Structure 1
Amino acid sequence: MRILLFTSLALLAGCSAEKAPAPAPSMEASAQPPAPTAPPAQIPVTAREVHEKNDLYEFDYSYPATAGSIPALKALLDGELEKARRELKAEATEGQKLAQEGGYPFNPYSHSVEWKVVTDLPAWLSMSTLVGFYSGGAHPNYVYDTILWDRIAGKRRAPIDLFTSKAALTESIRAPFCKELDRQRARKREGQNMGDIAEFSECIDPAEQTVILGSSNGKAFDRIGILISPYAAGPYAEGDYEVTVPVTPKVLAAVRPEYRAAFVAR
């Protein structure tokens, strides 16, 4: 964000050391209402988007104006942005050095984050992102991340912390989650058998994945999303999985009492 600084210039006049007394204001002048003062200029809240590309790395980081309008959240995101950029630069510099010493080509590293709003409620802001990265391996990779911002407390919370425990959340959504995951697996695999790879054929723990909270009514959380990165539920070629399950009375029972008013069963 660019900030324009304006400097006012004062005009100095008069050669004598003595100042002539100012004329008394006339009745007509004093009877006039004071001129209205202009309101202070408002700085618009905008989204932030950073893009850098050079011989060492490519870096992208962005977040929406909804997040930028919350000072504490903006500060958190700006801090994470700078940290990610520093770490990427350091890792890419080291990778380039090793490539030169080993006599093999160096491919620029990359890191990308694009925060998007999942749900914007009066007391909560839920966001998610796909974190893409490349650090010299056979191919790029990516993982998910989430921010659940508590507007009342003014702090970031992990979605899982709104439940009594990970185990309680898993138990409340396991059946519909596993059913939908298997349905998506079958569609992607088109009959291919993954029985020889247990982690790609058995159900996984949804609470160990990236959990996001969503809403269809803009008033309360009524659905839960499970974002699954490559390798967690299937081979890299299958990509990621996204499973959404509704908030049910069973899920409500797993929510901590102090947060239950933020949820509604569907």
Structure 2
Amino acid sequence: MYKSLFLISVALSSAGCSRSADESAAPVEAMNARVEAPAAPEPPAQPAVTGTTFEDDAESNGGKRTFDYSWPAAVNRIPELAARFEADRAKQLAEQKGDWQEAIKASPEECGACRNRDFEKEWKVVADLDDWLSLSADFYVYTGGAHGNHGKSSLVWDRERKRGMKGVELFNSAVALETALGAKLCDALDQERAKRRGEPVTRDGEWSTDCPGIDEATVLVGSSDGTAFNRIGIYFGPYVAGAYAEGDYELDFPVNASVLDAVKPQFASAFKVGS
């Protein structure tokens, strides 16, 4: 009997220990569950930077006016540059509107084209470097008459100094760059003119056969590897290197040691020899 009572006591004691162990484990598991931090929410996606396209068209008294001005996303990533283009756009639009209103009032009724005005300007990226953004702008302007005028301009933005300049301003002078390119400039131009004219170009003192200087050109600075300026573009607009019907001429050259010597010292680090 005593043996039975002893066994019963041991059994009850063991059961009590088992319950105690189970009950003591539950709060630890619960505590562990509470200290696990919830997953951090994903940050909201930032809207992609896009380019800007602006249009403003109108018609009145038989006259039409069109206005288009655009620039790429790279410009909108630079607030100061975007503000500069916005100001230029507002200025050009105001001038066109004023000129158009005057044309509507003053133009003969039978001259419909006299009351038409067109303006287009599209900025494009030439080279996007860490410290520089090189841009070109294709533009077209019609202010009445037989045809409009078109051309190309350049702007190079210095990210560090937050200022813009024409491509030619990176060089000591237009003459210095022209000297650095040497005979290659005129030879390349004559080759292109010969293709369009169907005959070799003979320089006979006429403006259409002469070799214009870089002071009459637009200078573009480009890059083939995205690390430094190693290409030079020389653009001659209509009437500069040939008749209007021939169009414009754009020539491309690699940067060489002579061109590097023509670069202003403060901008030398932005250039390297190209191939």
1: CA distance, partners of 2:55 / 2:267: 38
Q: 2:110 corresponds to which residue? A: 104
How far has the Cα of 1:190 moved from its partner?
0.3
Q: TM-score, normalised by structure 1?
A: 0.81
Q: 1:6 corresponds to which residue? A: none
Q: 2:50 corresponds to which residue? A: 46
Q: 1:132 corresponds to which residue? A: 140
Q: 1:209 corresponds to which residue? A: 217
> Residues 147-176 of structure 1: CA distance to partner in whole angstroms, max 9, x if unpaired?
101111111022222212222111101311
Q: 1:195 to 1:255 in 2, by over 3 A?
A: closer
Q: 1:191 to 1:123 in 2, by over 3 A?
A: same
Q: Please, which runs of 5 or more residues in structure 2 have no aligned partner? A: 1-34
Larger radius of gyration: 2
Q: 1:223 corresponds to which residue? A: 231
Pick aligned residue for 2:194 from 158, 163, 186: 186
Matches within 5 A, 1:71-86: 71-86=79-94
CA contact (8 A) 1:132 1:140 kept: yes
Q: 2:26 corresponds to which residue? A: none
How far has the Cα of 1:195 moved from its partner?
5.9
CA contact (8 A) 2:233 2:253 kept: yes
2: CA distance, partners of 1:113 / 1:145: 10
CA contact (8 A) 2:172 2:263 kept: yes
2: CA distance, partners of 1:174 / 1:243: 14
Q: Please, which runs of 5 or more residues in structure 1 have no aligned partner? A: 1-30
How many residues were matched structurally?
237
2: CA distance, partners of 1:44 / 1:192: 51
How far has the Cα of 1:226 moved from its partner?
0.8
Tell me which amino acid in the other structure corresponds to 1:50: F
CA contact (8 A) 2:75 2:82 kept: yes
Q: 1:236 corresponds to which residue? A: 244
Tell me which amino acid in the other structure corresponds to 2:217: Q
Pick aligned residue for 2:129 from 111, 114, 121: 121
> Residues 216-247 of structure 1: CA distance to partner in whole angstroms, max 9, x if unpaired?
11111111101111000000000000011111
Tell me which amino acid in the other structure corresponds to 2:137: T
Q: 1:234 to 1:213 in 2, by over 3 A?
A: same
Tell me which amino acid in the other structure corresponds to 2:89: L
Q: 2:206 corresponds to which residue? A: 198
2: CA distance, partners of 1:115 / 1:197: 36
CA contact (8 A) 2:194 2:201 kept: no
**SS of residue in 1 equivalent to 2:182:** helix
**Greater per-residue helix proportion:** 2
2: CA distance, partners of 1:193 / 1:219: 38
Q: 1:23 corresponds to which residue? A: none
How far has the Cα of 1:256 moved from its partner?
1.4
Pick aligned residue for 1:174 from 159, 175, 182: 182
Range with greater deviation from structure 2 (243-252 or 161-170): 161-170
Range with greater deviation from structure 2 (44-53 or 76-85): 44-53
Q: Percent identity at matched positions?
A: 38
Q: 1:249 to 1:196 in 2, by over 3 A?
A: closer
CA contact (8 A) 2:238 2:246 kept: yes
2: CA distance, partners of 1:133 / 1:223: 29
How far has the Cα of 1:192 moved from its partner?
7.5
| Segments ≥4 residues shifted beyond 3 Å | 31-44, 192-197
Q: 1:195 to 1:178 in 2, by over 3 A?
A: closer
**SS of residue in 1 equivalent to 2:181:** helix
Q: 1:57 corresponds to which residue? A: 65
> Residues 51-72 of structure 1: CA distance to partner in whole angstroms, max 9, x if unpaired?
2222131111110001111100
How far has the Cα of 1:42 moved from its partner?
3.9
